[in-house]
């Protein structure tokens, strides 16, 4: 499966689970990035990252990917405070000669 197809399938699953804002996907440098933003607590954002990782693992079927979260804007005052988090999955683009090897 190509990196682009993998990104498309991960995006499809995230839309199906309807996590939050619109899911955005596209190529950035040598990766496909699938991401969305959620306004939630740090604890909940970590839980979403875990769930997204499980979705990506199921779809990726052994392919490499990285998922995580990054803070957008101001940090919360405490762990239970709300903040905006970007949740993402980054899928490396495989070159044709990498696929043949």
Average of per-residue pLDDT across 86-101: 73
H-helix or E-strand spanning residue 86: strand 83-92
Percent of the chain topping pLDDT 90: 22
pTM of the model: 0.76
- What confidence category does residue 21 fall into, taking pLDDT thresholds of 50, 70 and 90? low
Number of helices (H), then strands (E), belonging to the chain: the values are: 3, 4
Give the contacts of 74 (CB within 8 A, at least 6 positions apart).
83
The 10s digit of each residue's pLDDT in 36-67 is 888 889 998 898 899 888 888 887 788 888 99
């Amino acid at each position: 499966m190509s990196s682009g197809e993998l990104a498309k399938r991960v995006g499809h699953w995230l839309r199906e689970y309807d996590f939050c804002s619109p899911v955005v996907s596209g190529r950035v440098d040598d990766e496909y990035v699938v991401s969305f933003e959620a306004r939630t607590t740090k604890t909940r954002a970590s839980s979403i990252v875990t769930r997204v990782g499980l979705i990506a693992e199921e779809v990726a079927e052994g392919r490499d990917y990285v998922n995580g979260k990054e803070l957008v804007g101001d940090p919360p005052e405490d762990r239970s405070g709300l903040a905006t988090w970007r949740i993402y999955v980054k899928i490396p683009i495989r070159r044709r000669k990498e696929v043949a090897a």
